């Protein structure tokens, strides 16, 4: 199940949060004055002490949290001339001895600007003063209706909140409330988010340098309109190839890629250490082979193999232009697709409606046009892509590669991305990092303030078969506060046998290599190596690949 589906389920369990409340002298609206928020006006402030709060677990993402005690402050503000009403919710540990002296701004997910309790609970449990925001519309992961006025025109004020403005607002509000409550400013301030929250973290670095000391941004949706349309690409690719490919068949091809490339990192451990090194795998080589799906013996046809190839290639125009890089071979692709084969061999695409929120609601404005994502042609798809980039790229993309102001502020950006991420392929984060290297002065200069780590076998914000980072925010704190830049990220997972598997994720562009001594499940028996010819980092490799593709490469 997708992490966001689990988080939506978690949100629905909000009634399970229990508490006993008491009033105190400090946690009261009279304690606080209106924070100074640029270009915004505070409408109201309420404060309530909450004790013994328990929060349910989100399996695979969040552990259960018990006995939280905090001051819950709700600040409503508006941006003059917009008629919006935005909630910024801040939780503060009840006493200073429970506060770690830091502030944490928590990110959102999918269509939610902030995740409120879901993000605030873990932050408070770790001793932070923390904030989250609604962006001015009701909390919902999967609905984009808030982006439209009643007449179906775009509500650009709320889009502005979602894209950039509310991100900074919650930092101004949260830091001010913490200072008022404890009598002094937070020692350090951080951003913490994944996916949409990752995009927001990159946006904070690009648009608001100096507002935070550190940004932890995982699996960032850097080119957001492209990410929303990327989910539809497998359907378009299969339509162009002339066949549907079932979940079972995708899983079979993923297993074949793993068989072919698992040992490239020196260990046969069920995880592809560097998917970019898996250059020999080609679905077309498996034409004519057989597999078993739903009790049927399925023959790999040219159409099926070509569909798999196109899906993994990513959105590519009829002219051969790859506009968004796809997920590497070996990545499971059945989280959103639901294609089955019945006993007669009939292939069925089951309810892809979750994928069409952006084009149907926003690009087509719920028009009477009979939009059917399962029938979308390549020309129609790329027409929507161009429209999305033209109308929304300027405000929703966080791909400005000039991070010089962020660098000069002394802040640090730590980012990680799973290589089995089917929602936002990690290659797109690599591309952004390479562009920063191009604009800032090379890999070594960028490493001084921005480091990227890839997590082999890990899916979107977690899950998958590979070890995920244990606490990347703590690694960021060590970098910011003690001048200890992370060379690796400690990661772990329990395998199918219940055994703990540990790894130290390698700093990009380094890749993991088994040292061939000791158990494969122990991080101490692995090292990191530089790809051949990449001493100066990833941009040199990108330039070399571009020259090669243009027929100008040197042997």
Q: State the catalytic residues.
A: 195, 421, 460
Cα–Cα distance measured from residue 201 to residue 213, given in angstroms and rounded to the nearest whole number? 12
Contact 428, 324 (CB under 8 A): yes
Cα–Cα distance measured from residue 47 to residue 52, given in angstroms and rounded to the nearest whole number? 17
Q: How many CB atoms lie within 10 A of CB 83?
A: 9
CA R_g for the chain: 24
Token pair, residue 530, equals: 């530089």
Token pair, residue 422, equals: 């089917």
Convert 413-427 to b/e letters by CB count within 10 Å (16 or more is b): bbbbbbbbbbbbbbb
Token pair, residue 30, equals: 């009279």
Three-state DSSP string of 258-271: HHHHHHHHCCCCCC
Sheet harboring 129-133: ordered strands across? Answer: 18-20, 41-55, 65-78, 86-93, 129-133, 102-106, 188-194, 214-218, 412-418, 450-455
Hey, is 463 helix, strand or coil?
strand
Distances (CA, A) of 464 to 58, 188, 222, 329: 16, 33, 22, 14
Q: Exposed/middle/buried for 450, CB within 10 Å: 0-12, 13-18, 19+?
A: buried
- C-alpha torsion sign, points 422, 455, 502, 277: positive
Cα–Cα distance measured from residue 548 to residue 290, given in angstroms and rounded to the nearest whole number? 36
Hey, is 328 helix, strand or coil?
coil
- HSE value, Cβ hemisphere, 13 Å, CA-based, for 9: 13
Cα–Cα distance measured from residue 22 to residue 15, given in angstroms and rounded to the nearest whole number? 19
């Amino acid at each position: 199940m997708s992490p966001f589906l689990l988080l939506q389920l978690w949100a629905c369990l909000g009634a399970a949060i229990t508490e006993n409340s008491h009033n105190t002298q400090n946690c009261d609206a009279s304690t606080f004055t209106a924070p100074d928020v640029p270009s915004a006006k505070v409408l109201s402030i309420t404060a309530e002490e909450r004790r013994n709060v328990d929060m349910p677990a989100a399996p695979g993402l969040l552990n259960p949290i018990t006995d939280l005690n905090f001051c819950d402050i709700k600040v409503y503000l508006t941006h003059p001339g917009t008629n919006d009403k935005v909630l910024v919710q801040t939780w503060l540990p009840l006493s200073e001895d429970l506060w770690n002296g830091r502030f944490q701004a928590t990110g959102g997910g999918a269509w939610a600007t902030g995740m409120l309790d879901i993000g605030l609970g873990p932050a408070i449990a770790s001793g932070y003063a923390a904030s989250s925001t609604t962006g001015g519309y009701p909390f919902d992961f999967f609905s984009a209706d808030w982006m439209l006025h009643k007449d179906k025109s775009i509500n650009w004020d709320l889009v502005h909140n979602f894209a950039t403005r509310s991100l900074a607002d919650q930092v101004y509000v949260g830091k001010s409330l913490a200072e008022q409550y404890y009598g002094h400013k937070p020692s350090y301030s951080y951003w913490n988010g994944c996916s949409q929250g990752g995009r927001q973290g990159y946006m904070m670095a690009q648009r608001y340098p100096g507002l935070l000391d550190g940004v932890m941004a995982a699996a960032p949706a850097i080119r957001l309109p492209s990410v929303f349309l990327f989910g539809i690409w497998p359907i378009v690719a299969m339509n162009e190839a002339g066949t549907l490919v079932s979940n079972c068949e995708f899983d079979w091809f993923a297993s074949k890629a793993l068989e072919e490339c698992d040992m490239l990192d020196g260990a046969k451990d069920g995880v592809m250490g560097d998917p970019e090194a898996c250059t020999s795998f080609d679905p077309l080589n498996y034409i004519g082979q057989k597999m078993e799906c739903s009790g049927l013996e399925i023959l790999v046809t040219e159409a099926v193999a070509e569909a798999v190839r196109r899906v993994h290639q990513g959105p590519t125009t009829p002219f051969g232009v790859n506009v968004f890089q796809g997920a590497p071979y070996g990545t499971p692709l059945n989280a959103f697709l639901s294609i089955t084969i019945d006993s007669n061999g009939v292939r069925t695409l089951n309810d892809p409606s979750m994928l069409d929120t952006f084009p149907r609601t926003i690009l087509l404005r719920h028009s009477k046009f009979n939009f059917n994502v399962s029938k979308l042609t390549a020309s129609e798809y790329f027409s929507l892509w161009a429209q999305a980039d033209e109308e929304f790229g300027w405000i929703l993309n966080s791909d400005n590669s000039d991070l010089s102001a962020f660098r000069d502020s002394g802040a640090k950006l730590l980012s990680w991305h799973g290589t089995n991420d089917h929602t936002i392929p990690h290659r797109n984060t690599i591309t952004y990092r390479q562009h920063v290297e191009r604009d800032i002065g090379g890999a070594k200069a960028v490493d001084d303030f921005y480091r990227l780590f890839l997590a082999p076998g890990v899916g979107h914000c977690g899950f998958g078969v590979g070890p995920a980072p244990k606490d990347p925010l703590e690694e960021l704190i060590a970098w910011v506060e003690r001048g200890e830049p992370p060379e690796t990220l400690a990661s772990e997972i329990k395998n199918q046998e219940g055994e703990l598997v540990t790894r130290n994720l390698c700093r990009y562009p380094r890749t993991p290599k088994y040292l061939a001594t000791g158990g494969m499940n122990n991080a101490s028996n692995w090292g990191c190596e530089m790809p051949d010819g990449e001493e100066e980092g990833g941009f040199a490799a990108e330039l070399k690949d571009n020259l090669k593709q243009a027929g100008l490469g040197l042997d």
